[in-house]
Amino acid sequence: MASPSLVFLRRKMLSNVLIIFLSIAQTILGMKDQNICPKNKSLFEIPGDAVLSVFLNINHGPYCNATSSTGLQEVFTASYVVHLLNKYESIPGLSLGLKIFDTCNDETTVYKQALQTTVDIECTNHYEMGILLPSEYATTLEPLRNYSVLPISTYNEQNLTRPLINLMVHYLSTRFETIDALLANHDFALNLFLDTTKEAGICVESYGDTLELDESEREAVIAVIGQRNDIRQWIERGEKMQESRKTWIALPLDGSNVDDLIPSGSYVLRTSPFNLDLLQEISSPDLFVETASNPVIHSPHLLGIGKAIAELAQLLQDLQKRNCPRGIESCAMPRFNPNSKQEMRNVDVYNALRIVPKSHSIKYIVAMKSQQEMVDMAAYRIEPANSKFRIAPESRVPKMPKLCLKKYAKNCASCANFKMKFGPRGVAKDTLDRGLLKTGNWIPIFLTVVVCGTFACGVIAVFIIYRFIVEDVLDGNPALTIVLILANVFTLQTVLLFCINDDYLGAEHLNSRKILVTSLAFGLDFSVMLTRAFFLLFSKGGVFTAHINGYLQGLMVFFMFCVQLAISIMFFAFSTDDPAVVMRSLFFVALLGYDIFLLIILFMVCFFIFQLPRNYREGKCFFGTSIGLLIAWAIWLTCFILVEPECRDTVVSFGIISTAYLIIIGILIPRTYYMVTHLARGKKFGQRFGSTDLAPDPRINTIVKQSRPFYDYVHSGGGSMTNLQVTSAYPNYYGSSSPNQKYLGQSRSPDTQRIPGYNNYGYHSEMRESRMSPVDRCNANTTYARPKCQRKRKPKDDKDCIETDVYVEGSVSTSRKSHDEIYPARPSSPRLTQTEATICEENEHDEITRITRF
């Protein structure tokens, strides 16, 4: 048995060995940590206080040694965005950093790189923003995301399939009239191309995912749409076929470079190229930002990887504001959570990078391969500031002359894209997925307003026609009022075209008719209003009153309206521009220039007629309406210029409705009100017959039966005994003094002196004393406008009867005077200082004297 001292020595030796072993292990582990942490496997790095690790598809191939130009463009785009955000200090107190990792287009490599990044977090002293990678690798890193090992966010490239196909079809319409074959690997791209070519008038002979060509001597034109591998396979198989020479038009939807795949003489749609060698040589950040500015801004990757980085930077800025209001030095930032980021609009991305609005576009080029080099044929800009991505060519190129449009449409009846199909082909347009009306909250509001306005116009028109038929007194011919009502109804109906979906009837077909009917509706409205205003002005003070009639007014409306009719029809018939683009551009405002000119002239003329009471105070109504129209047009034209092109249909609809309703509220309704109140007459006759002082006297009772318009009672005799101001034979600017021309006399004196005056509603005539020589006698041919005198007396409360008592003192003669006998120049009584212009002396055996006066 061992002694206690020996046991103690053994234990001490074992403790020393354990201590040495632990020390060695710690040393080894420390050396291992020192070897792992400093190691950096990123391809590219920008230092910063908050670092984001970005995984990009830079290289590909079995050995990951084939560099992709698309991947390098994404690298430069990400670097440009980070440098620009740091330049403008988008995150105060923090600078953004960037690490670029290559995925080699391999999921295993992506997973290894993510694990390595997770380990590196423990060895860094910067704020970690996690990993940003393409969405195709989201499932690969799902375990790391579920366990919150590392902040992981994904991004998608901007989907430009629709604008790119529209761009492709637009270029094809300038080069070809027929496409022999269409090859596409997606139903959406296939149907969209077929529908778009149909609207453009291009004939597509066949389509599918396999190439089948008919034997023909002419050169075959083949359009291919798909990924790089699909395009390569189609071109290889097609070139092996022994048919005639082929022209390929390639559209890579994945943004890859297919310049090396297409044969000579073929075309390809591609982005504006980067000068990669120049960008790699630049070391200064400021110089890099300046050099890369133009290609990166017009690159689609700015709205892909660039937009994702801007969204994460915005999230970091919000996180800093909430947690560090006094600065980053005095607080600790929480763990970054990319799931709480908010999606930014495309225009917000450009604004965050402080890019000027005129540069908010993506540039694409149509290039043709000539021998071994690419030649740019056309350049297009896609405006991504809105959701529809409108395309615009940088230079105008005329389209082919015999496209299947208008009179040539019947030539394409046998083309595959002009046939109605069902099943897979019909998903783009032939189903009910695309409704007749647009989607939006404004559509039902506009339709309701149109229906209400049309109903109001109908009620007013029926009222005027009814009054005219029942022979009530109307101040002027209502023909132009009916024309104005019909023009206003036509204006309201034009809003319906702006509520219809462009894809339902065809963008070119629908938008061309929008331009036509809108310009014609405004032109007809303003032509009628300006004609009425001019003739009200002409009738002021008796100017041209005798020569104004309805035919002249109709002729003036015709010529005014024909100017706008010629402008609209010439554009509709001869313009080669895309109507969808014109309808949403400033060129549409130019087409309305003549209507704007008519509106300004109307406003100027209304200054001189607003006090005229003729035709139910129409001058006052026109003046107020013209002011409202000027304000409404100034508002909607300004909004049309400022808003996005996709919102301009709504603005034009607002302009149409406001114009129509201002006419209804400012002209039609007030004139209807004045018409009703004027026909009612009322009981206070003194307000309508001037200030003639005829004191009541029971000895003489004169009754005037108003069975015809009171402005028809016109004294037309020459050499009369009075100096009373009278109007012309046709004082009303509508063309006659009354719609009831049967009441007019058949003969007029040629010696009548026309003195300015009014004889209709609201005019108060003036009667003056006159001294007449006893030898002056009335012309025997003088014809007086006489009211119908009824034998039977009417009660005093009858509204159609105007009863006036005239006191005649000292001049009452018991002897009757013949029609050609003059009346005394001055009565014996001083009270009778005024004489009447016309005196109805028919039925003289009656005991009453009938006087018609103004």
Mean pLDDT of 609-632: 85
Question: What does the pLDDT read at residue 626?
Answer: 93
Torsion sign, CA atoms 522, 524, 527, 532: negative
Q: Mean pLDDT over all residues of the chain?
A: 75
Token pair recorded at residue 168: 């492709």
Mean pLDDT of 786-799: 44
Q: List C-alpha distances in Å: 350 to 297, 364, 383.
A: 9, 18, 12
Question: What does the pLDDT read at residue 341?
Answer: 85
Mean pLDDT of 182-211: 87
Q: List C-alpha distances in Å: 104 to 55, 63, 674.
A: 10, 9, 83
Hey, what's the torsion of the CAs at 649, 655, 661, 665, to 10 degrees? Answer: 160
What pLDDT band is residue 11 in, cutting at 50, 70 and 90?
A: low
What pLDDT band is residue 491 in, cutting at 50, 70 and 90?
A: very high
pTM (2 decimals)?
Answer: 0.58
158-172, 186-200, 413-427: range with lowest mean pLDDT:
413-427
Q: What is the residue type of 761? A: Y
Q: Where in the chain is the domain with CATH 1.20.1070.10?
A: 441-681
Q: What is the residue type of 192? A: L
Cα separation, 757 vs 646, whole angstroms: 55
Mean pLDDT of 165-174: 93
Beta bridge mates, 142: none
Q: Contact 576/398 with Cβ under 8 angstroms?
A: yes
Cα separation, 666 vs 769, whole angstroms: 42
Q: Considering the chain, what percentage of its residues have pLDDT values greater than 70?
A: 68
Of 125, 144, 123, which is closest to residue 133 (Cα–Cα)?
144
398-412, 479-493, 804-818: range with lowest mean pLDDT:
804-818
Q: Contact 640/648 with Cβ under 8 angstroms?
A: yes
Cβ-proximal residues to 48 (8 Å cutoff; 6+ apart), any chain: 82, 86, 94, 95, 96, 97, 98, 126
441-681 architecture in CATH? Up-down Bundle (1.20)
Q: Contact 238/248 with Cβ under 8 angstroms?
A: yes
Cα separation, 393 vs 389, whole angstroms: 13
Question: What does the pLDDT read at residue 325?
Answer: 75
Q: Quick check: helix, strand or coil at residue 495? A: helix
Query: Counting beta carbons within 10 angstroms of the beta carbon of residue 624, is it exposed (0 to 12), middle (13 to 18) or buried (19 or more)?
Result: middle
Q: Contact 167/269 with Cβ under 8 angstroms?
A: yes
Instruction: Count CA within 13 A, CB hemisphere, residue 370.
Output: 7
What pLDDT band is residue 709 in, cutting at 50, 70 and 90?
A: very low
**What's the topology of domain 44-157+277-348?**
Rossmann fold (3.40.50)
Residues in the chain: 854
Of 391, 55, 70, which is closest to residue 228 (Cα–Cα)?
70
Alpha helix ranges (H) inside 201-324:
228-240, 276-281, 285-297, 305-323
Q: Considering the chain, what percentage of its residues have pLDDT values greater than 90?
A: 27
Cα separation, 231 vs 621, whole angstroms: 68
Q: What is the pLDDT of residues 267-302, one digit of tens each?
A: 999 988 777 666 666 667 778 888 888 888 999 999
Indicate if the pLDDT at residue 422 is higher than 50: no
Question: What does the pLDDT read at residue 577?
Answer: 77
Mean pLDDT of 547-556: 75
Q: What is the residue type of 176? A: F
What pLDDT band is residue 310 in, cutting at 50, 70 and 90?
A: very high
CA angle 832, 848, 757 (to 5 degrees): 55
What pLDDT band is residue 4 in, cutting at 50, 70 and 90?
A: very low
What pLDDT band is residue 61 in, cutting at 50, 70 and 90?
A: confident
Cβ-proximal residues to 647 (8 Å cutoff; 6+ apart), any chain: none
Sort residue 371 into left (φ over 0), alpha (ψ -120 to 50) or beta: left
Question: What does the pLDDT read at residue 657?
Answer: 95
Instruction: Count CA within 13 A, CB hemisphere, residue 481.
Output: 28
Question: What does the pLDDT read at residue 748?
Answer: 42
Report the top-level CATH class of 160-271+362-412: alpha beta
Cα separation, 94 vs 101, whole angstroms: 23
Q: Where in the chain is the domain with CATH 3.40.50.2300?
A: 44-157+277-348, 160-271+362-412
Cα separation, 465 vs 481, whole angstroms: 10
Distance of CA 569 to the CA centre of its chain: 21
77-86, 219-228, 614-623: range with lowest mean pLDDT:
614-623
Q: What is the pLDDT of residues 113-139, one digit of tens each?
A: 888 888 877 777 888 899 999 999 988
Distance of CA 131 to the CA centre of its chain: 43
Q: What is the pLDDT of residues 68-84, one digit of tens each?
A: 888 888 998 999 999 99
Question: What does the pLDDT read at residue 249?
Answer: 94
Question: What does the pLDDT read at residue 679?
Answer: 52
Q: Contact 47/83 with Cβ under 8 angstroms?
A: no
Mean pLDDT of 91-120: 88
Q: What is the pLDDT of residues 840-849, one digit of tens each?
A: 444 444 444 3
